[in-house]
Chain A
Amino acid sequence: MLGGYAHRIARINLSTGQVEYFAPDPKDLEMYVGGRGLGVKYVFENGPQVDPLGPENLLCIMNGPLSGTRAKMSGRLAVVTKSPLTGTVTDSHMGGWTAAKLKWAGFDGLLIKGAAERPVYLLVKDGEVSIHDASDLWGKTTHETCRILRERHGKDADVMAIGPAGENLVRFANWINNDERAAGRGGTGAVAGSKKLKAIVVVGTHDKMPQPKDPELWKEADRLASATINDPKNVTAPKKGGLSLYGTNVLMNITNVMGALPTFNAQHTCIEGAEKISGEYIREHRLIKDNTCHACPVACKKMVEVHINGKTIRFESYEYESAWALGAHSGHTDTDWTGYAIYLCNAYGMDTIEAGNAIAVLMEATEKGYYQGEDGIRFGDKEGEIRILEAIAYRKGVGDMLAEGPARFAKAIGHPEIALEVKGQSIPAYDPRGLKGMGIAYATSNRGACHLRAYTPASEILGVPYKTDPLAWEGKGKLTKLFQDLSAFTDSLDLCKFSQFAEGPEEYAKQLAAYWGRPVTPEEILRIGERIYNLERYYNNLAGWGEGSDYLPERFLKEPSDCAGSKGQVTELDRMLEEYYRERGWERGVVPPAKLQELGILSQAADD
């Protein structure tokens, strides 16, 4: 039996109230590991044609074989489902302690189907799942819900909750846990809302931590992983490295000077005053505390304090993507108003990236006269932005249209070109005219535009694993495939993306081998990542995303960048796609049967 697992998954039907338990098939564990990979497998088996907001959709809450262990940066929890925003399979990950506690509570995952008649929450404890009434919690913010449920179930309880946005089926609603970590993208909170599932409470203590099957190998693997992360010269070095000191938002000043920061809905590629919403500025002027997640020495999370109209608001965290979306992308760099907008998105339970894009699209539509309602707002209108965020969460006025996602809104007003989306999901904070690799990464991401499937800025900005020219397209298809496969694997362990700034296939393979109790080669883990990526693509192909689905917004292809660092550049998508498909062995975005057989996907699907 492979180590690292609880070997127990709960299948919960909210329509009937029935809860069943099963041990995951060892073959599935070897092929898909856990977390994202195993979740994708279950979502695939549930069928690609389901309505994402219907009771038949499957919502998977997954951890991985290293969750709840002492493996560094192993605090990630995967939420996997069919996205109501994109219609693709999606996965989104949150930090904190929820993943670890789910393992300590005796589970590798929760598979949730059906829909309750009244609001409910799940209590996961001692290997059992029970369903409880949540009528008193419905309507409350994520912060209030987490606080009330922790008071009710004690300090060993970890809570993940949806907010009003999830209840109101905002297509980019998310999950927030009591450490204010978000499973942010793809609308997984709306799927919970459609099932009347308000929260999940997980009770577990670390005395239930799984032990490695090969303790001697584990000692060596853990020592190596720790040494790479803690290497004082590295960006991950605790209290020394840039990622530890400033968190993700260390990038704001960098992308701004590179002309790679989309601003004013990507009508520009830099903004005056980006410093005011940067990690460096926040550390100096707004930081309260460096918080961390389970088993993480890096502590990139930042507890901050902002001041609005005489009120002081504390929250976590002033992330790069959030600060960009709700600041620069929306045409301002106000430290406090941007922070307040982030706090509100967390409270309502909605993705800051998608929300910021919704605001920016509305602003462009208003300024160009495409939207003429009296609740339209213009770039830089910070107070208007706050009003619209509330309107989205509660589906009021134009907020009701925006709650369908910026892509659907832009299409509804007759100007789809102003939505910066791929497969219905909006772009994050990197402009592919200044970072060409992000262009191919966005276009080919299986969950819609995303920086976390293949983080090409690692190479284009940080020189990891080797430096490439951010303005060159050559080689970016190959790089994207490598990053996609590596991340599909680490998302299945489930480790933080930051681990990849220090660890590579050798370190991951050793750690998994020590827990599994059988040899694992670095080549095998890349193969697993490739298999997961292809299964996701196969699902999407069956769900209707076929040839021509790997596109970019025209703005990036036709409107040259106007800022120093990338001035005059557009994205050469076709050339990168050609290189990428060649590397993947795909036919214009479609996985051929031979590739599915080569990776063991098709034969296994047939066996099942």
Chain B
Amino acid sequence: MPKVNLYATFRDLTGKSQLELPGATVGEVLENLVRAYPALKEELFEGEGLAERVSVFLEGRDVRYLQGLSTPLSPGATLDLFPPVAGGGFERTFGAFPPWLLERYLEEWGGRREGEGVYRLPGAVVRFREVEPLKVGSLSIPQLRVEVEGEEAERWFERIAFAASRGGG
């Protein structure tokens, strides 16, 4: 049966950090999740589709860039569900800033890995995921979505943004 890891406010809403739910596709598993925890419905869905701000990862890949809700799941699959960053959070999409490099910085700064693309720093949680690269003419520039929340979110966000400073010429 597929596993579902829940993060941040999803944990508050369910009281769980991991669940096992039946389903052969992402959509079926999420429907079963909502059946068990109706409070999640508004968080996860907009109409019939996946809510824009929610992140659902299958083995580290955003399901939006797989087959969305129709993405098939093996019985041993693991989904990671991240809620949108709450008001007061800090977020930005950085170009040419690879996820492995951000992970390295976060570890250097004393961050603790809590899951795929999730690190806890003193006073803040950092979530990141690769999103569609920016394609301009014959150029393709990788994009990394980074969200920081918590009491120290601003300080850590600024540190990440500074480390991500790039230019060109």
Q: Residues of A with Cβ closer than 8 Å to B? A: 224, 227-228, 231, 233-235, 241-243, 245-246, 250-251, 253-254, 257, 279-280, 451-452, 454-455, 457-458, 461-467, 482-483, 486-487, 497-498, 500-506, 522-523
Contact = CB atoms under 8 A, between A and B. Distances in A.
Given A455-B168, A467-B95, A506-B105, A461 B136 contact: yes
Given A231-B98, A522-B163, A466 B169 contact: no
A463 B163 contact: no
A506 B138 contact: no
The secondary structure that dominates the B interface is mixed
A331 B124 CA distance: 55
Contact of B169 (A253, A254, A487): A487
B65 interface: no
Given A233-B133, A501-B96, A462 B167 contact: no
B164 A504 contact: yes
A228 B134 contact: no
15 contacts: A233-B133, A235-B140, A235-B141, A242-B138, A462-B95, A465-B94, A466-B93, A500-B167, A500-B168, A501-B168, A504-B97, A506-B105, A506-B163, A522-B163, A523-B162
Interface string B52-79: 0000000000000000000000000000
A73 B124 CA distance: 36
A253 B168 contact: no
A455 B167 contact: yes
Interface string B129-169: 00001101111111100000000000000000111111111
A553 to B, nearest CB: 22
Nearest to A487: B167
A284 B165 CA distance: 34
Contacts of B165: 465, 482, 486, 504-505
B166 A465 contact: yes
Interface in B77-125: 92-98, 100-101, 104-105
B168 A498 contact: yes
Contacts of B142: 231, 233-234
A464 B96 contact: yes
Given A467-B93, A500-B167, 5 more contacts: A462-B95, A465-B167, A466-B92, A466-B161, A501-B166
A69 to B, nearest CB: 21
Contacts of A464: 95-96, 141, 166-168
A228 B98 contact: yes
B167 to A, nearest CB: 4
Contacts of B162: 505, 522-523
Closest 7 CB pairs of A and B: A497-B169, A458-B168, A463-B95, A242-B139, A500-B167, A464-B95, A254-B137
Residue from the set B94, B134, B136, B162 with the largest chain A CB neighbour count within 10 Å: B136
Contacts of B96: 234-235, 462-465, 501-502
Contacts of B137: 242, 250-251, 253-254, 257, 280
B101 A254 contact: no
Nearest to B134: A463
B140 A233 contact: yes
B164 A465 contact: yes
B94 A466 contact: yes
Contacts of A462: 95-96, 134, 136, 139, 141, 168
Contacts of A523: 162
Interface of B: 92-98, 100-101, 104-105, 133-134, 136-143, 161-169
A228 B94 CA distance: 14
Contacts of A506: 105, 163
Contacts of B134: 462-463, 467
B3 to A, nearest CB: 28
A235 B163 contact: no
B95 A465 contact: yes
A603 to B, nearest CB: 27
Of the listed residues B98, B141, B161, B166, the one surrounded by the most CB atoms of chain A closer than 10 A to its CB is B166
Nearest to A457: B168
| Most A C-beta atoms less than 10 A away, residue of B95, B98, B137 | B137
A306 to B, nearest CB: 21
A486 B169 contact: no
Contacts of A457: 168
Contacts of B143: 463
A248 B97 CA distance: 20
A233 B132 CA distance: 11
Contacts of A458: 166-169
Contacts of B136: 254, 461-462
Contacts of A234: 96, 98, 141-142
Contacts of A233: 98, 133, 140, 142
A228 B101 contact: yes
A280 B95 contact: no
A228 B142 CA distance: 12
B162 to A, nearest CB: 7
A525 to B, nearest CB: 10
A461 B168 CA distance: 11
Residue of A466, A497, A502, A522 with most chain B CB atoms under a 10 A cut-off: A466
Contacts of A502: 96, 166
Contacts of A452: 169
B168 A497 contact: yes
Given A466-B93, A467-B93, A500 B141 contact: no
B166 to A, nearest CB: 4
A465 B97 contact: yes
Nearest to B108: A506
A223 B124 CA distance: 29
Nearest to A453: B169
B131 to A, nearest CB: 11
